[in-house]
């Protein structure tokens, strides 16, 4: 894998629903923004980044403080534009398909499996490409949906890479055969649809389908080269000191390892710390002790960051500091 040095840092905060991904991502972004121009993007269809930051957010970057901008992706419009884009491309590539009313399929395609994942990956790609060309932000933080959806999104570049390679090979074979037929007949292959004549391209450089596959492949390579590059991307798993989020995080870590996406930090959020343990809290504290031992055992290669359970809900810029004061370890990634 050839890593691309993009000149900015990327952070993903992942984990089970409710563990505190958005809170941790937001607290981290607020702190980083003191040193670096930062963008935080919520990719969770159930947004609460705006609530956590205490600022109303939209599709367009909103300034939160001096150097911090935030976005809540509008899922419906993102999926719609992903599908419209797709239909436009198909119409461009297979001009004879214009006789079908492809637009009428968009409403149905909206509910086809995998569409959220592809549209989200499109969005991530768009943001990364945009920042490569504009150099607007020094740090981009992605606040992600709960684990399952995030893993499926993160798997897409690797999965897509396999089928795009296959499709490219197939397309080259088709074009080779077209050229053989052209040699024999001495003319281009033609299709007549609705009284109109369409000439089939036979060289890869003239073929819109092949060119589109080349473009998809280059986007996939770009995303892979960014998310798999530990010098650019830091993935942080967030858990609570409870069994279920930890077991889920372990599975996520194994899966990401298979994809070649490195994870460096585990945040244990909402750690209860009490000097005198009330009787009724004892089982909870014991459970927490067991969970912390599990974390040490399961995640030997990760740096552990503990954040206490706060009695006041960490919402708004000043309260988020009570979270970010524990994140200096992760901050080193931006300075390094």
Note the residues at the interface with ligand ADP (CB under 6 A). 15, 17-23, 48, 269-270, 307, 309-310, 313-315, 323
Q: Which is nearer to ligand ADP, 112 or 318 (CB)?
A: 318
Residue closer to Mg ion by CB (options 22, 150) is 22
Sequence-ordered strand ranges (E) for 73-195: 139-143, 190-193
Partner that binds at residue 310, options Mg ion, ligand ADP, none, CB closer than 5 to 8 Å by kind:
ligand ADP
- Cβ at position 45, least distance to ligand ADP in Å: 12
Q: Which stretch binds Mg ion (CB under 5 A): 40-48, 84-92, 129-137, 205-213?
A: 40-48
DSSP string for residues in 173-206: HHHHHHHHHHHHHSS--EEEETTEEEEPP-SGGG
Q: How far is the CB of 268 from ligand ADP (least distance, A)?
A: 10
Residue 134's Cβ-count burial label (10 Å; 0-12, 13-18, 19+) is exposed
For the CA atoms of 127, 131, 137, 143, the dihedral, rounded to the nearest 10 degrees, stands at 20
Q: Is 223 exposed, middle or buried (0-12, 13-18, 19+ CB in 10 A)?
A: buried
| Closest distance to Mg ion from the beta carbon of 225 (Å) | 27
With contact defined as beta carbons under 8 Å apart, do 16 and 239 qualify?
Answer: yes
Pick the piece of the chain touching Mg ion (CB under 5 A) from 42-50, 85-93, 129-137, 223-231. Answer: 42-50
β-bridge partners, 42: 72, 143
Which partner in ligand ADP, Mg ion, none is near 95 (CB below 5 to 8 A by kind)? none
Tell the smallest beta-carbon distance from residue 302 to Mg ion (Å): 21
Residue 22 lies near Mg ion (rule: CB under 5 A): yes
The percent of the chain in helix, strand and coil, each rounded to the nearest 5, is 55, 15, 30
Per partner kind, with CB cut-offs from 5 to 8 A, the member of ligand ADP, Mg ion, none near residue 229 is: none
Q: Which is nearer to ligand ADP, 95 or 319 (CB)?
A: 319
Q: Pick the closer one to ligand ADP by CB: 101 or 275.
A: 275
| 64 contact choice in Mg ion, ligand ADP, none (CB below 5 to 8 Å, kind-dependent) | none
* Six-digit token string for 194: 């609705």
What DSSP letter does each residue of 81-139 carry, written as one string?
A: HHHHHHHHHHHHH-GGGGGS-GGGGHHHHTTSTTHHHHHHHHHHHHHHHHHHHH---SE
The nearer residue to Mg ion, 127 or 213, going by C-beta atoms, is 127
Provide the 8-state DSSP code for 32: H
Residue 236 Cβ vs ligand ADP, minimum distance, rounded to whole Å: 12
Cβ distance to ligand ADP smaller for residue 37 or 319:
319
* Least distance from ligand ADP to the Cβ atom of residue 154, Å: 16
- Number of helices (H), then strands (E), belonging to the chain: the values are 11, 10
Site of interaction with Mg ion (CB under 5 A): 21-22, 44
């Amino acid at each position: 894998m050839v890593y691309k040095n993009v000149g900015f840092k990327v952070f993903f905060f992942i984990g089970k629903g409710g563990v505190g991904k958005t809170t941790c991502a937001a607290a981290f972004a607020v702190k980083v923004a003191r040193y670096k121009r930062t963008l935080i993007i919520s990719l969770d269809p159930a947004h609460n980044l705006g609530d956590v930051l205490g600022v109303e957010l939209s599709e367009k970057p909103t300034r939160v403080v001096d150097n911090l901008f935030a976005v809540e992706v509008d899922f419906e419009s993102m999926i719609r534009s992903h599908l419209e884009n797709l239909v436009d491309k198909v119409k461009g590539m297979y001009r004879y398909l214009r006789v079908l009313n492809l637009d009428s399929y968009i409403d149905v395609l909206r509910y086809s499996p995998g569409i959220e994942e592809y549209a989200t990956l499109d969005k991530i790609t768009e943001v990364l490409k945009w920042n490569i060309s504009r150099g607007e932000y020094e740090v981009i933080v992605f606040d992600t949906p709960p684990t399952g959806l995030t893993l499926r999104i993160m798997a897409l570049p690797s999965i897509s890479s396999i089928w795009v390679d296959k499709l490219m090979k197939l397309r080259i074979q088709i074009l080779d055969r077209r050229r053989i037929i052209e040699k024999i007949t001495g003319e281009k292959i033609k299709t007549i649809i609705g009284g109109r004549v369409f000439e089939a391209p036979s060289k890869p450089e003239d073929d819109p389908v092949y060119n589109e596959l080349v473009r998809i492949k280059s986007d996939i390579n770009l995303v892979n080269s960014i998310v798999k590059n530990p010098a650019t991307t830091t993935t942080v798993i967030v858990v609570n000191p409870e069994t279920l989020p930890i077991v889920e995080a372990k599975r996520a870590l194994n899966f990401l390892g298979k994809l070649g996406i490195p994870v460096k930090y585990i945040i244990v959020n909402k750690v209860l710390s009490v000097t005198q343990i009330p009787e009724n809290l004892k089982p909870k504290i014991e459970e927490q002790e067991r969970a912390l031992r599990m974390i040490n055992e399961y995640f030997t290669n990760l740096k552990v960051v503990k954040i206490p359970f706060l009695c006041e809900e960490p919402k708004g810029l000043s309260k988020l500091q009570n979270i970010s004061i524990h994140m200096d370890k992760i901050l080193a990634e931006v300075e390094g």
